[in-house]
């Protein structure tokens, strides 16, 4: 099989991630002339995504990042629709970004795999479900992998391609070419592992930060300052946790622990304490820092 030539992209699930992934493909891949379908099974989600895309492009033009003509071309190439079947039949690459439920992903990707060409690349954007858990639901799983974007996908450049035991090298190479063509930086993860690479490293940093705090080695502020001023992190681990949600950290670690039984995967006792108090970070006005006065 030669390298798959990608012309048509289908993003399934028009939520927070799907919108930005589809827009990235249409906007940053505009020199490749991709036709991009952004699909959702819920009419309200389709409507919301269409409104978002229109406003996003207007904003880019207003800020003079792109010309009106470029915005018009992008809008023309970005088709936001409920018709998943039509998009699947045309697509050379499908990126699934529906809700994080195994059964829904199996259903959606299984269905699509029966409608698209046998060499259409199939990617799941899931952060937690490795594509092995979907492979038996999908026709020709050699073209199936995790294609993991980071939030916000229009800004973040990294995309993790996770190769399952069923995934062919050709499919990984074709996905990598596509990701580079939309101005992003793909990395290949050769083995399936929970959290992939970036989130695992992030978790290890957050964990060490909590452990230092627990031991009374330094304050929240000083640990963040160490990372920001000494390691050039854009944001220290506590400030970052406040932004992404201490509750999210809690749930991810509980899930991980349930999976591995490894004590080191448990949430830090300080995270448990914050979780029980309902201090989740910015969204509750208090986390590691107090945001209520700002
Ligand atoms: N939010 C993040 O920070 C982030 C980062 C990386 C990866 N992810 C992954 O991306 C995926 C989507 O996350 P999100 O934050 O965009 O969620 P979201 O809830 O914003 O969007 C999910 C969308 O899927 C749609 N949907 C549900 N069932 C469907 C079906 N059967 N067919 C088609 N569409 C359907 C919903 O209508 C909704 O619009 C998840 O797998 C998540 O793990 C999320």
pLDDT digit string, tens, across residues 199-235:
999 999 999 999 999 999 999 999 999 999 999 999 9
User: Mean pLDDT, to the nearest integer, of 143-167?
Assistant: 97
pLDDT digit string, tens, across residues 83-113:
999 999 999 999 999 999 999 999 999 999 9
Pocket of ligand 1 (CB under 6 A): 12-18, 40-42, 45, 97-100, 104, 108, 125-127, 149, 151
Q: Is 148 a catalytic residue?
A: yes
The alpha-helical segments, DSSP class H, found in the chain are 16-28, 43-62, 68-77, 84-90, 102-115, 132-135, 169-181, 198-214, 220-225, 237-244, 246-260, 269-277
Buried (b) or exposed (e) across 227-243, using 16+ Cβ within 10 A?
Answer: beeeeeeeebbbbbbbe
The three-state (H, E, C) secondary structure of 170-186, written as one string: HHHHHHHHHHHHCCCEE
Amino acid 46: pLDDT: 98
User: Mean pLDDT, to the nearest integer, of 158-186?
Assistant: 98
User: Mean pLDDT, to the nearest integer, of 125-142?
Assistant: 96
Q: How sure is the predictor about 4, in pLDDT bands with cuts at 50, 70 and 90?
A: confident
CA R_g for the chain: 20
Amino acid 93: pLDDT: 98
Kindly give the distance from the C-alpha atom of residue 16 to the centroid of ligand 1, in angstroms, as a whole number: 7
36 SS3 class: strand
82 SS3 class: coil
**Mutate-to-test residue for ligand 1 from 10, 11, 12, 17, highest number of ligand atoms within 8 A of CB:** 17
| Residues 6 or more apart in contact with residue 206 via CB below 8 angstroms | 237, 240, 241, 249
Q: Does residue 281 surpass a pLDDT of 90?
A: yes
Q: Is 127 a catalytic residue?
A: yes
Query: Cα dihedral sign for 91, 9, 161, 195?
Result: negative
Kindly give the distance from the C-alpha atom of residue 125 to the centroid of ligand 1, in angstroms, as a whole number: 8
pLDDT digit string, tens, across residues 39-60:
999 999 999 999 999 999 999 9
Q: Which residue has the tokens 């970036």?
A: 198
85 token code pair: 């079947």
Q: Is 103 a catalytic residue?
A: no
Give dist(CA 188, CA 92) in Å, integer.
20
Give dist(CA 133, CA 283) in Å, integer.
32
User: Mean pLDDT, to the nearest integer, of 153-164?
Assistant: 97
Amino acid 294: pLDDT: 55
Residue nearest to atom 4 of ligand 1 (CA): 151
Amino acid 264: pLDDT: 87
User: Mean pLDDT, to the nearest integer, of 126-153?
Assistant: 96
Closest-lying ligand 1 atom to the alpha carbon of residue 104: 31
User: Which residue in the list 41, 168, 181, 199 is annotated as catalytic?
Assistant: 199
Threshold 0.85, pTM exceeds = yes
Q: Does residue 1 surpass a pLDDT of 70?
A: no
User: Mean pLDDT, to the nearest integer, of 73-88?
Assistant: 98
Q: Is 76 a catalytic residue?
A: no
- Name the percent of the chain lying above pLDDT 90: 92
Q: Does residue 2 surpass a pLDDT of 60?
A: no
Give dist(CA 233, CA 226) in Å, integer.
9
In angstroms, how far is the first alpha carbon of the chain from the final one?
Answer: 58
User: Which residue in the list 24, 125, 126, 148 is annotated as catalytic?
Assistant: 148
């Amino acid at each position: 099989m030669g390298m798959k030539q990608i012309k048509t992209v289908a993003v399934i699930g028009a939520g927070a991630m799907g919108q930005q992934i589809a827009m990235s493909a249409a906007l940053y891949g505009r020199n490749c002339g991709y036709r991009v379908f952004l699909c959702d099974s819920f009419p309200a989600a389709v409507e919301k995504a269409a409104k978002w895309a229109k406003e996003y492009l207007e904003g880019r033009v207003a800020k003079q990042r792109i010309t009106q003509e470029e915005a018009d071309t992008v809008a023309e190439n970005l088709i936001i629709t409920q018709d998943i079947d039509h998009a699947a039949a045309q697509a050379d690459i499908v990126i699934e970004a529906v809700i994080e439920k195994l059964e829904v992903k199996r259903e959606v990707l299984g269905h699509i795999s029966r409608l698209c060409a046998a060499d259409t690349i199939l990617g799941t954007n899931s952060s937690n479900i490795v594509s092995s858990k979907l492979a038996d639901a999908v026709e020709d799983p050699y073209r199936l992998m995790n294609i993991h974007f980071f939030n916000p996908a229009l800004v973040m450049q990294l995309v993790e391609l996770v190769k399952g035991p069923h995934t062919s090298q050709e499919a990984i190479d074709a996905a990598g070419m596509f990701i580079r063509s939309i101005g992003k930086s793909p990395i290949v993860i050769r083995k399936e592992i929970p959290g992939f690479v970036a989130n695992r490293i992030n978790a290890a940093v957050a964990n060490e930060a909590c452990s230092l705090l627990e031991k009374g080695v330094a304050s929240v502020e000083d640990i963040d300052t160490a990372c920001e001023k000494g390691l050039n992190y854009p944001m220290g681990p506590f400030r970052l946790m406040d932004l992404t949600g201490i509750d999210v950290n809690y749930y991810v670690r509980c899930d991980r622990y349930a999976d591995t039984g490894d004590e080191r995967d448990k949430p830090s006792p300080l995270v448990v304490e914050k979780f029980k108090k309902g201090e989740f970070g910015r969204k509750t006005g208090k986390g590691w820092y107090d945001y209520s006065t700002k």
